[in-house]
Structure 1
Amino acid sequence: MLLSRMKNVIFYAAIALSCFAIGCSKVEYKKIDDPAYLRVFNNLNYKIGIDNKDEQLPFLTMLIDPEMDQNGMPVSAQIKGDFLDKRDPYAPPYPSHIGSGTSVNNPEYPGRENVLVGPVLNGFDLSSWAQIPSGKHRIVFMFRPKNTVPFFNLDPKLKKSFLIDTTMVLDSKEVYTLHVLQKDFLTKRNGIYLRKENFHKLPLSDSSIYVNFYNMSAKGYWQADNDAKGGNEYGKGAMGNGVKDQMNIFVTLYKNRTVSSPKISGYNGKYLGNLTRNADVLEVSPYYSFPLFADASAGGIFTDMWQRFDFLAPGMDIRNIPYGPTVNQTDGNWASINCLTPYPDYRQWNEIVMPNMIVNIHSGKYNPRSFATVNTIEIVNGNVYLSTIQRKYAPPVY
């Protein structure tokens, strides 16, 4: 399986880099007999400016089952996820951070952490999830300075700021995604969102692309003044100022990666379902699907089809949305996401551009070959995040 090979290459590259930089040291892993699988994202990406200069930079350390001293300050932990920075817009279907670059900043957990990771479960590679013991855990997120000093080596006065201190229960062999996010835009209340995933339990077809959607934005975000949100940034599109708490989702499939791409019959503004803002209830959203080879002329091996998702307030007609390069003030009524990269020249002010949901890679005798994926799109306070999961496929033949 190519993903496993990539995982091994990345792992050994990380060891080699470590040996080169600081001298080799043996890493001892402790077997976890009854694990759960956990992935963590830091969604606190607000900017510190004049209006919120007293807020702390959301650069975090995660401590699971910490040991506290007599003053209630953490001195150790069973599990530590340090240097937890804001998440990347795209989480690809393989661990992309271990051994990459020289920064210690971690856009997710486990990310760069050298820990036991999940197995291949029902064909899905869980190497982007960490193994942790199942059961009840205390979990603490601490603010930390943005430097390269490990958390427990910091000066005591720099490791006293608690962001979250709570408990969670993780069931054996279950897959969880944990988010740190803002719950209320006006009060600035923060919290966690723990979701038990189910993609590995569903009868999903290899010939279909799957995607589900979450709006985990803070209460009151889209209603707030646009200047307070800083949403009018190039690259955030109409989504930057937020969408309403109830939106309808439509998909349009395009035949190839050109600006004048023809739309695929049957998938021109096709209604998928409703999106409700929810940063508290932990239910998994339904997965919607469309064929990997919706373009029948592609031949069944390779397709460069791409996807557009439009979010419209109830009552709006997909046929009448105001397309155009400068339409970004939509009062939360409409926003769109184009999944078509790499194609760097295609970006308009009102659109967010994300990677294609189809993975094209050398496999077997074909170079490239197209593969279906399972995807999650999450909207958080004007930002959009795409996570992609892929099943195993044939390695290249050389």
Structure 2
Amino acid sequence: MKKQILSIYLSLLAMVIATGCRKVDYTKIDQPAYLRVFNNLNYVQTLGTKDDKVPFFCMLINPTTDANGNLTGAEIVGDFLDKRDAYAPPYPSHIGNSTSVNNPEYPGKENVLVGPILNGFDLSSWAQVPSGKLRVVFAYRPKNTIPFFQLETHLKKDILVDTTINLTSKEVYTLHLLQKDFEKKTSGVLLRHENFYKLPLSDSLVYVNFYNMSAKGFWQADDQFKDDDFALKSFKGGIKDDMNVYVSLYESQSNLNHRGLTVPGYKGKYLTNVKRNNTEATVSPYVSFPLWSSSKANGVVTDIWQRFEFLLPGMDISNNPIHDSQINTGSNWAVVNCVLNGKVSLQSNENGTVLPNLLVNVHSGKDNPRTFATVNTLEVVNGRIYLTTIQRKYAPPIY
């Protein structure tokens, strides 16, 4: 018996050592606000931008300095802040990812206290931070794996943004680091006070709102200064400052052709207007479509996918003169297809970029899978489009 206990103990000890388990001491925050941070600055490898600094940062909230003004610490540190991912899922997917220290958002990989379930919405992708007036600094850092405060002093002096924000206790905020003016190369932040958790939203509707937070002058700039990533498709040149958004819903993800069968009433349906704005943090109104809109839906699972088209006012789906395969659309038309997990390739002549489906399918209760409606945000920033998805808490699986 003693040998069996000893064997179990040694096995458990080996597991702890193998997984690198360590205790994390969390600092309790009495009156927290909930904050999520995205770095919307991208690396653009062109002849015109080869001398630009790599936008890789350490974010410091309420930093401390020594007598010489050198940074020595901070109340909150978000180190290795890299450019954001195209998709921010409704759960903290980056925790436990040890392949790189680079963090595509804050809190992301950071082991910090996170938000609760608030009015049914899962805020585990938002960090708890002190409420009140906060000083926020984004400092350039080398693209290596050395923690910021272990760097040599001269490497901690290059500051991109030093500003203050004001957060209210128990409220939810998203902070964006943005390029404000493309020609002048000025940058700053935009703090959005979210409201999705305060709205009377239906479980049977999928919600989405839209932003164009591109820099002033981006779409007018010469293509040699823009990212030539083919995957950006019709977005890579940017969109104009005033665009209308249309949606088409498709019956099945087994057919990813945009000429396929659409849900009745949802072929090129007008949704909303979006204007370029990277200075005012007003929350855009949410628009919606029915979760169970497909004739094939059974109240448990649905297989629809979504196509959003941004068109210059005066154009619409029926009179669009731009060809489907045309990538350079003069910034008058851009398309995003939201299908599967976003890791798919559409037809090579398709001008739409690809992001994950707005619907979430998970094992819940006795259903595997079950389709859930979500609350989503689509943000256009300098030739890229990003999707953030938020989900209500759902019933755990029954095995």
Range into which the TM-score falls when normalised by the shorter chain: over 0.9
Q: Letter of the 2:354 partner, please give it.
A: V
Tell me which residue corresponds to 1:8. Answer: none
* Matched residue, 2:390: 389
| Greater C-alpha Rg | 2
- What is the aligned counterpart of 1:198 among 192, 195, 213? 195
Give the match's secondary structure for 1:341: coil
Report the CA distance between 1:365 and its aligned residue: 1.5
Q: In the alignment, residue 105 of structure 1 is paired with which amino acid?
A: N
Which one-letter code corresponds to 1:369 in the other structure? R
Q: Which amino acid aligns with 2:385?
A: V
Task: State the alpha-carbon separation in 2 of the partners of residues 356 and 275 from structure 1.
Answer: 21
Q: 1:236 aligns with which of 232, 236, 249?
A: 232
Give the match for residue 303 of structure 1.
302
1:369, distance to aligned residue in structure 2 (A) = 1.1
Q: Which has the higher mean CA deviation after the structures are superposed, 275-284 or 63-72?
A: 63-72
Tell me how far 1:29 sits from its aligned partner.
Answer: 1.3
Aligned to 2:364: 363
Q: Name the residue aligned to 2:156.
A: 159
Aligned to 2:123: 126
CA shift, 1:321, in A, is 2.3
Residues 17 and 99, structure 1, Cα contact 8 Å, conserved in 2:
no
| Equivalent residue letter for 2:344 | P
* Matching residue of 2:373: 372
Give the drift of 1:293: 0.6
Which digits, 9 at most, give the CA deviation of each residue in 1:255-284, with x for residues without a partner?
001025301111111111100000010100
Aligned partners of 1:81 and 1:96: how far apart in 2?
A: 17
**Correspondence 1:1-398 to 2 at 5 A:** 20=18, 25-230=22-227, 232-257=228-253, 258=255, 259=257, 261-322=260-321, 324=323, 326-342=325-341, 344-347=344-347, 348-398=349-399
Cα distance in 1 for partners of 2:136, 2:16 equals 29
Aligned-pair distance for 1:234? 1.4
SS of equivalent residue, structure 1 residue 236: helix
Say which is worse superposed, 27-36 or 246-255, in terms of deviation. Answer: 27-36
Render the CA deviation track for 1:114-172: whole Å, top value 9, x for unaligned.
Answer: 10000000000100000011000111000000000000000112111000001110011
Q: Which runs of 5+ in 2 are unaligned?
A: 1-13
**How many matched pairs?**
381
Q: For 1:221 and 1:293, locate their aligned partners in 2 and report how far apart those are by CA, in whole Å.
A: 39
Partner-residue secondary structure (3-state), 1:235: helix
Aligned partners of 1:32 and 1:131 also within 8 Å: yes
Whether the aligned pair in 2 keeps the contact of 1:252 and 1:268 (CA below 8 Å) is yes
3-state SS in 2 of match to 1:296: coil
Look up the equivalent residue of 2:252 and give its one-letter code: N
Deviations 1:76-122 (A, max 9, x none): 11100000000000010100001013210000000111100000000
Does the residue aligned with 1:50 lie in a helix, a strand or coil? Answer: coil
Q: 2:346 corresponds to which letter in structure 1?
A: Y
| Aligned alpha-carbon RMSD (Å) | 1.7
Per-residue deviation at 1:24?
5.1
Quick one: structure 1 residues 166 and 19, their matched pair in 2 at CA, closer, same or farther if it must change by over 3 Å? farther
CA distance in 1: counterparts of 2:155 and 2:223, whole angstroms? 34
- TM-score, normalising length: structure 1: 0.92
Q: Is the 8 A contact 2:44 2:226 kept in 1?
A: no
Cα distance in 1, alignment partners of residues 223 and 103 from structure 2: 30
Return the alpha-carbon distance in structure 2 between the equivalents of residues 269 and 113 of structure 1: 41
2-structure distance, mates of 1:353, 1:324: 18
Query: Cα gap change, 1:155/1:113 in structure 2, threshold over 3 Å: closer, same or farther?
Result: same
Distance in 2 (alpha carbons) for counterparts of 1:116 and 1:60: 21
Preserved CA contact (<8 Å) 1:48 1:55: no
1:227-263 C-alpha deviation (Å, 9 max, x unpaired): 2213x43110111100100000101100001025301
Tell me the TM-score normalized by structure 2.
0.92
Q: Distance in 1 between matches of 2:109 and 2:225?
A: 34
Task: Please list the CA deviations of residues 167-187 of structure 1 after superposition, one character each: whole Å capped at 9, or x if unmatched.
Answer: 110011110000111000000
* C-alpha separation in 2, matches of 1:371 and 1:19: 38
- Give the AA of the match of 1:233: D
Letter matched to residue 335 of structure 1: A
CA distance in 2, matches of 1:219, 1:331: 16
Q: Distance in 2 between matches of 1:290 and 1:17?
A: 47
Decide whether the 8 Å contact of 1:235 with 1:349 is kept in 2.
no
CA contact (8 A) 2:139 2:161 kept: yes
CA–CA separation in structure 2 for the residues paired with 1:74 and 1:176: 26
For residues 284-340 of structure 1, give each alpha carbon's deviation from its aligned partner in whole angstroms, at most 9, with x where no partner exists: 000000000111331111111000101000111211225655311111110111001
Structure 1 residue 40: Cα displacement: 0.3
